[in-house]
Structure 1
Amino acid sequence: MKKLTYLFIFFINISFVFAQNKTLMFVGTYTDGKPDKGIYVYELNPSNGYLKLIFNTENIVNPSFLTLSPDGKFLYACTETKLPQHGNISAFAINSANGSLKFINKQSANGENPVYVSVHKNNKFVVSGNYGEGNVTVLTKNGDGSLNPFVQSIRFSGTSVNKERQEKPHVHSANFSPKNDFLYLPDLGTDKIRTFRFDEKQAKPLIEVNELTINTDAGGGPRHMAFHPNQKFAYSIEEMSGNIVGYAYKNGELSKIQSIISNQKKADIYSSADIHISPDGKFLYASNRVENTISMFKIAKNGVLTLLGHESTYGETPRNFNLDPTGNFVIVANQSSNNIVVFRRNIKTGLLSKLSDDTKVLHPSCLQFKTY
């Protein structure tokens, strides 16, 4: 009888813990260069995909890209972006009980228009990829989440074939390898994926490895990357060619295995944007601006992609999208039409079906999730 009682109490406690879990969605936006609400926090209902607004910041300028620390305690934002001055990386403490954010401090990204921020798994380094200045900057962080001034900043040189878009380097993201021992910088301006070894024991951790840097097809404009959960493959989406390029990955080396168009139709101008892989590693998704679609691909065991189809984003300019931690939902931020669209994802087929497009946010530009 005692064993049954203990089991009953155990399951009640487990049920209580799961009942307390909540999934928060953090939304970064463009504020037209003026102080505004900036960052919004929603709670995602895991049964129906409903989004409930629970918090927003005040007096933040263009918090256009967000990322969370590996421990989920802090949020970091690229702020003061798309302005004729150096942007910043801003730090916020997350109250996991009510979803509120508390501003901690900010430090210079040492470059114009920081477009991507990543946090090393050791929770000590924060990396900013700066589009306008074509450089990468490394800052350190403290235990309380606050940022220190940058400890390393590397500026690049070079051009590529498109004289208007590729007149100089434009670093568009900063992606850690699965083990966080390498950093990859897709450079739209020079058609390269710049590769660095990341030595977390060094005060200046970035060590360029020229022999591992990838020269991509001319005029492609590499933008974002996604690593497969099995750590054997990586995928880069090219903004200007509209292609997704698949790579085999081993010990820091990327070896091209495929290039496949992400867009639904051939066009004179492509503007592909974001890329993500489902938690089970079976499907890949990408967003395509101009034609406003999400492309859906099946991933074979050898890493090769097969196109499943395209889904409308029910809005304009899907700059960013993401999968929730369960993989049950794909949520899209349509920057120009000021709406966020929720899709349910069929985990067996990989296909999407729209649930709602009535979440209105001014110029949404980034979505990040965390379950507490």
Structure 2
Amino acid sequence: MIRRITIAFICTLLLQTAVAQVKNKTLLFIGSFTGGKPDTGIYVYELNTSTGKLTHRSTVEKITNPSYLTVSPNGRFLYACTDTKLPHNGSITAFSIDSINGKLSFINKQSSGGENPVYITVHKNNRFVAAGNYTGGSVVVLTANSDGSINPFSQLIQFSDSGINKVRQEKAHIHSTVFSPGNDFLFLPDLGADKIRVFRFNAKHVKPLTAFTNYFVTTTPGSGPRHFTFHPNGKFAYCIEELGGTVAAYRYRNGKLDSIQRIFSYSKKLEAYTSADIHISPDGLFLYASNRGTEENTISIFSIDQTNGKLALVGHQKTDGDHPRNFCIDPTGNFLLVANQFTGNVVVFKRDAFTGLLTKTGTELNIPGASCLQIRTYKTR
């Protein structure tokens, strides 16, 4: 009996030791504009999710304008919109991720099929990559192989609508490509046409996109829908409207969006608005939106009614930089990080889980042309 107890005790100690040795490593991937020429463009840092400190791990050089990034659902690969904001078709570049050392290795590169790809996402099965060409006004789908490499695009859908703002909405401008919670629909906010386009996504087909009945939602004229996100409960969806300086809330079910609210995001009225990014805290209690402009440069903070999905303004936080193009919330919900493109700095804020409010941590990076932040936590030993 004593021997059995001793063996059980030793086994318990070994198990506890093994568990203790499993650590979470959170990597921050930063994309940037490089002035339209090959240069250092992607930066990898490790985030301490207790203190908010950032430690440099690696960079990717000789890359042109990797302005938007995404990490595959399995965490093994990073895909970047590259050759953006140039007078020719952009590209999609694939990298493998060494989560132990925080290093990226180039795999391959393919054309995006249109000018200025600005957003990219990966299907949950890791086999499809969907990107939106902003200047080109199209959506493109590429298939991905098991090694992360991507094939020439298998499907491209061109749009030709326009909006009432003759300067910004002269033609279609797809600004994001977002999968539904079940990954069976793809949502495409079109800033140029004041529409959120919706397509069925059939992962059994090489050309997975098919038109959905009444496959778009018409937004307020001149609003310019930009980025889009779903609530963790899958019942609500939210769109940041760049030209309107507003956030639109929707009830979601089986590919359909029903409008429930439209709320102002800026801290004050301006002649023109350039809202940018939108994210929801992991607990689903707060929504954050970035508002650009020299007179603004804030993150707006909203509480979310868990019953009806409506938003209530909590406050605004200055981003300590110019042009907060993109931001992210770490998986623990402890920190919110902002990329200020024009001042080239990434600022880390501590997030209060109870109030949703933000406070500066003192951690800040100098990243020229910082334009996109993606974050992923890995389990390591």
Normalized against structure 1, the TM-score is what?
A: 0.98
Counterpart of 1:272 in 2: which secondary structure?
A: strand
Q: Is residue 52 of structure 2 the alignment partner of residue 49 of structure 1?
A: yes
Contact 1:239 1:273 (8 Å CA) reproduced = yes
Letter in 2 for 1:110: G
CA distance in 2, matches of 1:134, 1:234: 23
CA distance in 2, matches of 1:26, 1:97: 14
From 325, 331, 335, give the equivalent of 1:319: 325
1:106 match: 109
Contact 1:212 1:254 (8 Å CA) reproduced = no
Letter in 2 for 1:322: C
Counterpart of 2:121 in 1: which secondary structure?
A: strand
Letter in 2 for 1:207: T
Q: Is residue 266 of structure 2 the alignment partner of residue 263 of structure 1?
A: yes
Contact 1:276 1:284 (8 Å CA) reproduced = yes
Contact 1:339 1:357 (8 Å CA) reproduced = no
C-alpha deviation, 1:247, in angstroms: 0.3
1:118 match: 121
2:360 match: 354
Letter in 2 for 1:158: D
C-alpha deviation, 1:6, in angstroms: 2.0
CA distance in 2, matches of 1:124, 1:210: 26
1:38 match: 41
CA distance in 2, matches of 1:223, 1:70: 23
From 309, 316, 325, give the equivalent of 1:310: 316
CA distance in 2, matches of 1:247, 1:298: 15
CA distance in 2, matches of 1:162, 1:267: 16
From 87, 95, 106, give the equivalent of 2:90: 87
From 2, 6, 18, give the equivalent of 1:13: 18
Question: CA RMSD, aligned part only?
Answer: 0.8
1:145 match: 148
Could you tell me the percent identity over the aligned residues? 58
1:272 match: 275
Q: Is residue 291 of structure 2 the alignment partner of residue 285 of structure 1?
A: no
C-alpha deviation, 1:182, in angstroms: 0.2
Contact 1:139 1:150 (8 Å CA) reproduced = yes
C-alpha deviation, 1:7, in angstroms: 1.8
From 340, 343, 351, give the equivalent of 2:349: 343
From 197, 201, 225, give the equivalent of 1:198: 201
CA distance in 2, matches of 1:6, 1:40: 42
From 20, 25, 28, give the equivalent of 1:25: 28
CA distance in 2, matches of 1:354, 1:300: 26
C-alpha deviation, 1:192, in angstroms: 0.2
CA distance in 1, matches of 2:362, 2:188: 34
CA distance in 2, matches of 1:121, 1:97: 23
Letter in 2 for 1:324: D
CA distance in 2, matches of 1:8, 1:144: 38
Counterpart of 1:229 in 2: which secondary structure?
A: coil
CA distance in 2, matches of 1:288, 1:237: 10
Per-residue CA distance 1:303-350 (angstroms, 9 max, x = gap): 010100000000000000000111110000000011110001111111
Contact 2:250 2:261 (8 Å CA) reproduced = yes
CA distance in 2, matches of 1:95, 1:212: 39
Highest RCO, 1 vs 2 (Cα 8 Å, sep ≥ 6)? 2
Contact 2:302 2:311 (8 Å CA) reproduced = yes
Normalized against structure 2, the TM-score is what?
A: 0.96
CA distance in 2, matches of 1:322, 1:229: 15
From 234, 238, 241, give the equivalent of 1:238: 241
2:65 match: 62
CA distance in 2, matches of 1:293, 1:192: 25
C-alpha deviation, 1:210, in angstroms: 4.5
Task: Could you tell me which runs of 5 or more consecutive residues in structure 2 were left unpaired when the two chains were aligned.
Answer: 1-5
Counterpart of 2:142 in 1: which secondary structure?
A: strand
1:172 match: 175
CA distance in 1, matches of 2:55, 2:222: 41
Contact 2:335 2:349 (8 Å CA) reproduced = yes
Letter in 1 for 2:61: E
1:370 match: 376
Letter in 2 for 1:22: K
Contact 1:175 1:185 (8 Å CA) reproduced = yes
From 56, 77, 81, give the equivalent of 2:80: 77
2:138 match: 135
Per-residue CA distance 1:1-49 (angstroms, 9 max, x = gap): 333322222111111102xx21000000000001011100000012210
Higher mean alpha-carbon deviation, 244-253 vs 203-212, is at 203-212
